[in-house]
Amino acid sequence: MAQEHAHSSAVERLLNCEVPLRAQYIRVSFREITRISNHSLASTTHAMDVGASTPSLWAFEEREKLLEFHERVPGARMHASFIRPGGVAQDLPLGLCRDIDSSTQQFASRIDESEEMSTGNRIWKQRLVDIGTVTAQQAKDWGFSGVMLRGPGVCWDSRRAAPYDVHDQSDPDVPVGTRGDRYDRYCIRIEEMRQSVRIIVQCPNQMPSGMIKADDRKLCPPSRCRMKLSMESLIHHFEPYTEGFSVPAPSTYTAVEAPKGEFGVFLVSNGSNRPYRRKIRAPGSAHSQGLDSMSKHHMPADVVTIIGTQDIVSGEVDR
């Protein structure tokens, strides 16, 4: 969902479109749910690469609960096309906020259990401390972002630096490492999961009722029941779904703090309904480029785990 958010933000920036407050809160809570599910996948598959197989089994159970929330709202577990230009696709169903709340209450103890297993573990520390160390200057040179940049101590988080949606309301702490090794990055991911839980708990309480899409009917189609009743709504439904909407001419680069790093979309429009050029800047491709320099003076077994700590997904490297 972070990726959908990046593209939607780029389009909204070109259109100068205002997203309603309720939609912003929904986006933030789903972004943080995505962040937790990404970090639980990333840290624990990294653990599996190191050799610990249990954390991934536990974390995948937690991910199932989060993917169930994904499924309840837009209908698909993973490729939920939910965050759209102008807002979100549909409103939250009844009871979802209550279920998210009860799930997050027990999630913090799940994080504690996983941490109990790994963080103080002697073998874990031997495999992670002082391995894959990057200095702050190296991280900036190689174009790292997200946890890879915060590991060596560069306090950069797009949610704080350039707040979008309602991130400035929720005020999370940004965990930052000191040594820039894999152990720091692992601890940062765990702590980010806790901060995401904190945001998710705050969002339903602060969320106002209201519209979930921008009021501009040329941009956001109306709901289906309105479409079936009114001629104008039918036209407003037909037009975006066939022709799409036209986006004015300039270009923009918009980035969001995706769980893996900075996910950016460089969008060039020529005024028509299709983008002239859309380049996706995936964090994984910058991180994987640094693999060579990060693995110098380490052993072959460390290379696999350095790939894990960089949180690389080959799909975004290749695009």
Partner 1 sequence: MDNQFIFKYSWETFPKKWVHKKERSEHGNRFDTNTDYLFQLLCFLKLHTYTRVQVLIDICGVDYPSRKRRFEVVYNLLSTRYNSRIRVQTSADEVTRISSVVSLFPSAGWSEREVWDMFGVSFINHPDLRRILTDYGFEGHPLRKDFPLSGYVEVRYDDPEKRVVSEPIEMTQEFRYFDFASPWEQRSDG
Chain residues in the site for partner 1 (CB under 8 A): 13-14, 16, 137, 140-143, 145, 149, 154, 156, 161-162, 242-244, 246, 248-253, 255, 262, 264, 266, 268-274, 276-277, 279, 281, 285-286, 289-290, 293, 318-319
Smaller CB separation from partner 1, 25 or 142: 142
What tokens were used for 184?
A: 């720091």
Smaller CB separation from partner 1, 86 or 290: 290
Exposure string over 183-202, b if 16+ CB within 10 A, otherwise e: bbbbbbbbbbbbbbbbbbbb
Closest CA to 34 of 13, 5, 56, 11: 5
SS3 string, 224-261, reads: HHHHCCCHHHHHHHHHHHHCCCCCCCCEEEEEEEECCE
Distance CA(246)–CA(248), nearest Å, equals: 7
CB of 251 to partner 1, least distance (A): 7
CB of 21 to partner 1, least distance (A): 20
Q: 274 CB contacts (<8 Å, ≥6 apart)?
A: 244
> Which amino acid is located at 266 in the chain?
F
Distance CA(207)–CA(142), nearest Å, equals: 39
Q: How many CB atoms lie under 10 A from the CB of residue 159? A: 20
Smaller CB separation from partner 1, 79 or 279: 279
Smaller CB separation from partner 1, 126 or 273: 273
CB of 306 to partner 1, least distance (A): 17
> Which amino acid is located at 229 in the chain?
L
CB of 170 to partner 1, least distance (A): 19
Smaller CB separation from partner 1, 64 or 253: 253
CB of 167 to partner 1, least distance (A): 14
CB of 33 to partner 1, least distance (A): 26
Smaller CB separation from partner 1, 147 or 286: 286
